[in-house]
Structure 1
Amino acid sequence: MTDFSFVLTSLFTAALVLSLLIKFWLSSRQIRHVARHRSQVPAAFAHTISMAAHQKAADYTLAKARLGLIDMALGAAVLLGWTLLGGLSALNEVLVHWLGNNMTQQLALLGSFVLIGAVIELPLSWYQTFVLEEHFGFNKTTPKLWLIDMVKASVLGAAIGLPIAALILWMMAATGHFWWLWAWLFWMGFNLLLLVIYPTLIAPLFNKFKPLEDESLKARVTALMQRCGFSAKGLFVMDGSKRSAHANAYFTGFGAAKRVVFYDTLLAKLSAAEVDAVLAHELGHFKHKHVIKRMVSMFAMSLLGFALLGFLAQQSWFYTGLGVQPNLLAANDALALLLFMLVMPVFSFFIAPVFAQLSRTHEFQADAYAVQQTSASDLSTALLKLYEDNASTLTPDPLYVRFYYSHPGASERLARMSSLPPTEKVI
């Protein structure tokens, strides 16, 4: 083992152990904090949230956190199995023996890796859907529908993913030292295309979308969007209730293909004014250009990632330091891709709180915009209904929130809304 290989092995091991310790520590804090506050509804919500709803949210949070601990341990074991324990290297050698050193072998390596990973994750996925979510009354899907969704996703993933992987592997081999720049440009173009085609070609494969039929609500929503200077291709209702009782609304698409989608569960639970307020919050993200800022950030981060991969793929210590014996007489491009995808989350974990904080800041700004355009009371009651409906705990551990939450906790969020200057609350 070269010096660089030893350094990489040591850094990877240290980062993995430290990240696991932090994750388990944060999860244990969350579990203790939620359990400690289970028996009392926070004073700010005493008149709006029942004890039964509060305790259901606490129990749901605790159940997910405990399952998360198992998922963390399994994920770490699988990661070590693929890397330092030689699993990826062994799989590569078997496929080279069967298929030779060629593009087919590299694609087979990528496909086999994804397939094995999916099989490993299958039991926990099943348990989460048909035990945990079922126990708390959220699961509405059936084993048949769950299986059909899985098959559809697998076929779609293969139909889209394999050609993309083949093209990137070809670029790595044929376009010279700066292959990563060409691959990045292609990857960004594909993501922009996906934003356009997803609403009309991909999403309908999994759910039914019908135009919003409530004329009164449609008029309110249209007036709100016009007032905010926003246009969309259509207002649609999605049959989310066939899989889950959770409620949501979102914008999808890009440019002229933007559309507004409401879960049918959301429309069943919120008043028209509350739907207006939730939609105004989403419009706030567009008004503050959060979507564009996130896209630019994603483009910049992915460019750095591709550049780093371009460097690491040429270094033998990158492979040996992570438990993989590279091919000596053939390309190692698929190995490089897989190792990079496996290892980067271990190191990027430590900067995750920065992006979580940025996301929470965006949520506060969108809330403030919604209060300007609709009503603070309507947004507050809508959020409380959604927190209750989704069994989101009102008493998360503050440090856990700072590290993980992309949205502010309920107490902090509603307190921030109530503290807005009066001039920001005028409709």
Structure 2
Amino acid sequence: MITIGNSFRRISQAWFLLLSLTAVFALLYLISALFPRPIDPSISKYFSLALAEKARIYNYAPRIVYIVHLCLQIGFLTWLLFSTRGRILFQRVRNLSRNYWLVSVLSILAIWLVSTLISLPFSYYSGYYWQKIWGFSTQSQVAWWIDYLKNTSIDLVLSLAGGIIFFLLVNKISRYWWLVGSLLFSLWLVVEYFFWPIIVSPIFNHFEPLPKSAITTMVNELAHKAGLNVGSVLEMDASKQTTFANAYFTGVGSTKRIVIYDTLLKNYSLPEIKAVIAHEMGHWRHNDVAHGLLLGMAGGFIVFSILTFLLKPWLPKNSTKPPELWAALQLALILLLFVSSPLQNAISRQMERNADYFSLELTGNLPAEIQLQEDLARNSLTDLDPPGFIVWFSYDHPPTLTRIHDLEREYRPN
């Protein structure tokens, strides 16, 4: 049995620091969600205070659900790793078979199953129930469950494949497993960025090229003005799931594409659609997917190097690695990703800000840019005066009013 003794005092201190930092962030997030400051009256320049109050109510429950879910996941894995009963459970798993790889696979599956069961009520509440009672979900309950099972099946396959590769690395390349692991992770990111848009996304939605229309003419004109060779602009049937409008830029190489929700095309004016497409062209022009890919690779290298230190108690030399290692890996990853959220989101917000500026430069239409932000916020009940800590910690886009004010400051009339 692997235990953390005196020789691993520094490692236990690192775990304590990581858990403590997570607890502090989680507590600050929860306090910010439970007790937001009064709504700033200045928002009335663009939105009614009644709308702001309604949006605050809509965003209230999902924030609490998010942090409670996180705490339960961390609590389960912490109990599994550091409690006596958790160690007894792993011992029982080891007693099921003398086959090391069977025991490892059973451990991966068991931890995945319990984590999925813990997540299920939260996923249902936030992803279906809450959206349905507010009128945003267009799915039947059966359709939601079908999508959920698709997502869960993909997650199971990836978790099982990743777990087996992980145990192969730590057992066969004990000393340099983290380096090979970071290289494989980088390779996976490239594969994911390249193939996800053409293999996985179509499992959930239908994509087709925009039909010849004023919009395609506008796209071609914008692309010419921006000096871009935009290969694919696709319409996605998002209305089968939601009333939300959106667009995004994804893919690398030959799979690069701008995807526009059909809800955006149906419910927004041509100048607003133009602003959205120009924004996505900004991501294209700034190579944000490639930059995100490179940052992900660098982040993976850093995370894997930290894992070599955190996981050392479960990485005995010259012997097979225990099944508890998988639980330790899951816990470490959740904690590291959580505490690094502010940095990740700050980078994302800057990319979005730059894409907004590019859109404004390309369209030259400040009223349309502002109208787009106003309509998106109204139609999705975006929090119009979110708590500062929650913005800093978890927002991957600038808040609506920040985007509007930034656009106003950036605007330079011809």
Paired residue secondary structure (1:83): helix
The reply to whether residue 362 of structure 1 matches residue 360 of structure 2 is no
The equivalent position to 2:15 in structure 1, one of 3, 12, 16, is 12
**Alpha-carbon displacement from aligned partner over 1:164-185 (angstroms, at most 9, x marks no partner):** 4333432332245223322322
Query: What CA distance in whole angstroms lies between the structure 1 residues aligned with 2:227 and 2:333?
Result: 40
Specify the alignment match of 2:221 in structure 1.
Answer: 223
In the superposition, relative to structure 1, how do residues 91 and 262 fare at CA in structure 2: closer, same or farther (>3 Å)?
farther
2:57 corresponds in structure 1 to 59
Q: What CA distance in whole angstroms lies between the structure 2 residues aligned with 1:301 and 1:130?
A: 32
Q: 1:219 to 1:143 in 2, by over 3 A?
A: same
Name the counterpart of 2:31: 28
Amino acid at match of 1:106: S
Structure 1 residues 228, 207: closer, same or farther in 2, change over 3 A? same
Residue type matched to 1:23 in 2?
A
Moved more, 117-126 or 345-354: 345-354
1:272 to 2:274 alignment: no
Q: Distance in 1 between matches of 2:157 and 2:101?
A: 17
Query: Is the 2:250–2:289 Cα contact (8 Å) retained in structure 1?
Result: no
Secondary structure of residue in 1 paired with 2:216: helix
- Which residue of 2 is the match for residue 322 of structure 1? none
What SS does structure 2 have at the residue aligned with 1:42?
helix
- Report the Cα offset of residue 109 of structure 1: 1.3
Using structure 1 for the length normalisation, give the TM-score.
Answer: 0.86
The equivalent residue for 1:37 is 39
Deviation at 1:55, TM superposition (A): 2.8
Counterpart in the other structure of 1:134: 132
Letter in 2 for 1:391: L
Partners of 1:364 and 1:280 lie apart in 2 by: 13
What is the Cα deviation at residue 382 of structure 1?
A: 1.0
Rounded to whole Å, the distance in 1 between the matches of 2:176 and 2:67 is 41
Aligned mates of 1:354, 1:269 — CA distance in 2: 34
Closer, same or farther: CA 329–96 of 1 in aligned 2, 3 Å: farther
Distance 1:403 1:180, change over 3 A: closer
- SS of the residue 2:30 aligns to: helix
CA distance in 2, matches of 1:136, 1:155: 28
8 Å CA contact 1:232–1:257 kept in 2: the answer is no
The answer to whether the 8 A contact 1:169-1:333 is kept is no
Alpha-carbon distance between aligned partners in 1 of 2:289 and 2:396, rounded to the nearest angstrom: 14
- Give per-residue Cα distances to partners, 1:401-423, cap 9 Å, x unaligned: 2232221112221111111252x
Measure how far apart 1:370 and its partner are: 0.8
Matched to 2:80, the amino acid is W
Match of 1:342 in 2: 331
More moved, 121-130 vs 21-30 = 21-30
- The 3-state SS of whatever aligns with 2:398 is coil
**Which of the residues 181, 197, 211 maps onto 2:195?**
197
1:305 aligned to 303, 306, 312, which one?
Answer: 303
Give 5+ residue unaligned stretches, structure 2: none
Structure 2 counterpart of 1:418, from 389, 408, 411:
408
CA distance in 2, matches of 1:407, 1:165: 32
The offset of 1:191, in angstroms, is 1.9
Deviation at 1:188, TM superposition (A): 1.6
Residues 41 and 54 of structure 1 are in contact (CA less than 8 Å); yes or no, is this contact kept in structure 2? no
Give the superposition deviation at 1:214: 5.2
- Alignment map for 1:287-306 (pairs within 5 Å): 287-306=285-304
> Structure 1 253/393 Cα, relative in aligned 2: closer, same or farther at 3 Å?
same
Q: How does 1:22-421 map to 2 (within 5 A)?
A: 22-33=25-36, 36-37=38-39, 42-45=43-46, 49-86=47-84, 89-175=87-173, 177-213=175-211, 215-310=213-308, 312-313=310-311, 315=312, 318-319=313-314, 331-332=320-321, 335-347=324-336, 349-374=338-363, 375-420=365-410
Structure 1, unpaired ranges of 5+: 320-325
Cα shift at 1:203: 1.0
CA distance in 2, matches of 1:394, 1:214: 37
- Could you tell me which amino acid in structure 1 is paired with residue 225 of structure 2? R
Aligned residues: 410
Q: How many Å separate the matches in 1 of 2:140 and 2:350?
A: 38
**2:381 counterpart SS class:** coil
Distance 1:22 1:162 in 2: 30
Report the residue type matching 1:37 in the other structure: I
Whole-angstrom CA distance in 1 between matches of 2:224 and 2:80: 53
SS class of match (2:190): helix
CA separation in 2, counterparts of 1:148 and 1:127? 16
Q: TM-score under structure 2 normalisation?
A: 0.89
The C-alpha deviation readout for 1:292-331, integer Å capped at 9, x for no partner, is: 2222121111112223334555x3xx34xxxxxx889952
Q: Which amino acid aligns with 2:32?
A: R
Deviation at 1:277, TM superposition (A): 0.8
User: For the residues of structure 1 that align with 2:169 and 2:32, how far apart are their CA atoms?
Assistant: 46
Q: Is the CA contact 2:190–2:293 (under 8 Å) kept in the aligned structure 1?
A: no
Deviates more, 1:158-167 or 1:256-265: 158-167
Q: Percent identity?
A: 23
RMSD (Å), alpha carbons: 2.7
- Residue 323 of structure 1 aligns with which residue? none
